[in-house]
Amino acid sequence: MTPAAPLVKAPRRKPCPDGGRVPLCWAVMRDQLGRRLRDLRVSVTDRCNFRCPYCMPREQFGPDFAFLERSELLTFEEIARLVRVFVSAGVRKVRLTGGEPLVRRDVEGLVAMIAAIDGVEDLALTTNGSLLTRKAAALAAAGLRRVTVSLDSVDPTVFQAMNDAKVPLEQVLDGIAAAREAGLHPIKLNAVVQRGVNDDGVVELAAFAREHGHTLRFVEYMDVGTTNGWRLDDVVPAAELVARIDATWPLEPVDPGYHGEVARRYRYRDGAGEVGFITSVTEPFCSSCTRARLSAKGELFTCLFAAEGTDLRALLRGGADDETLLAAIRGVWSARRDRYSAERASLTPGLRRKVEMSYIGG
């Protein structure tokens, strides 16, 4: 295993402005719209064992689809090194994504490496849950703190149709239970809602989350990438979902827990937890976005809807030191102006190329 690279030692650095555990860091990194860098999403693979139509439709990602070769993927040591550099740039939260991150062999080893990095204050993972039963305990032991599980329906027939992989609902529910048993809680559940597909089951999903003490997030169906056949008519606005759930269990709004929180949160008035709504289409939150994304082959993206990223793998494998990597990250973030969701209505549909969500994580 390659020895861990040291933390960046840059001249004239200032004390961390947010009380983080890294003793020294550069001044807060902000983009052209004043947004600071705080969150990093790391895709560890572009592969997935599901074929959800809103993300990896089977007709596009079939048996002949050319996924990345193993040599193209960042190694765990390369990912950990980049995370350390991102931490020196202000990142405090790291989330592992995919594809499906649990199909990457020995991913718990990567979890352990990132958990050991001074300055990572929150380490989470997003998964479809199908492999959690056998992975949850090892992930928790390695230092993972939380999991978010994609769960689009608690109706077995609808669920299986939406994952398009013959994975039964019970397998994912068992994985969620295993994660809770391993101490990976509170567990978040993400549900992408499409009109005419699963929108008639949102109250049942909320009931499941309430009963088991999970935090549920309803996600508006987004025009990520170019393969999912997105239409605005298929989006169920969050306001409509709030009204449906409020009619069964009255809700009241909750203030954001931190700057850049993407979910609009509501608590149940009866005290049975909370529910959130991610409103990228109807109520964009670009102005407070603090996220960068690292693809499985080491490209840095500053927006989920970006067309292309910046190649950090070439720098890594070309012998760049940490100062050079940090300068590259700073250059990308400081030039950032993207606000796709806020500008969506003014853009010409279908003419803008966008990276697929499975490539950089949702």
What pLDDT sits at residue 127? 97
Buried b (16+ CB within 10 A) or exposed e, 252-265: eeeeeeeebebbbb
Amino acid at the residue 17: P
Assigned CATH topology for domain 39-360: TIM Barrel (3.20.20)
The helix-helix angle for 202-212 and 238-248 (nearest 10°) equals: 60
- Smallest Cα–Cα separation from 294: which of 114, 153, 155? 114
pTM of the model: 0.87
Side chain identity at residue 326, one-letter code? L
Query: Residue 188's pLDDT is what?
Result: 97
pLDDT at residue 44 in the model: 97
Per-residue pLDDT in tens (0 to 9) along the chain, 362 residues: 444 433 333 333 444 444 444 433 445 789 999 999 999 999 999 999 999 888 888 988 889 999 999 999 999 999 999 999 999 999 999 999 999 999 999 999 999 999 999 999 999 999 999 999 999 999 999 999 999 999 999 999 999 999 999 999 999 999 999 999 999 988 999 999 999 999 999 999 999 999 999 999 999 887 765 656 667 788 999 999 999 999 999 999 998 887 778 889 999 999 999 999 998 888 877 888 899 999 999 999 998 877 789 999 999 999 999 999 999 999 999 999 988 776 665 555 554 565 676 667 76
Biggest alpha carbon–alpha carbon distance for the chain: 59
* Rg, Å, the chain Cα set: 20
Confidence (pLDDT) at 8: 38
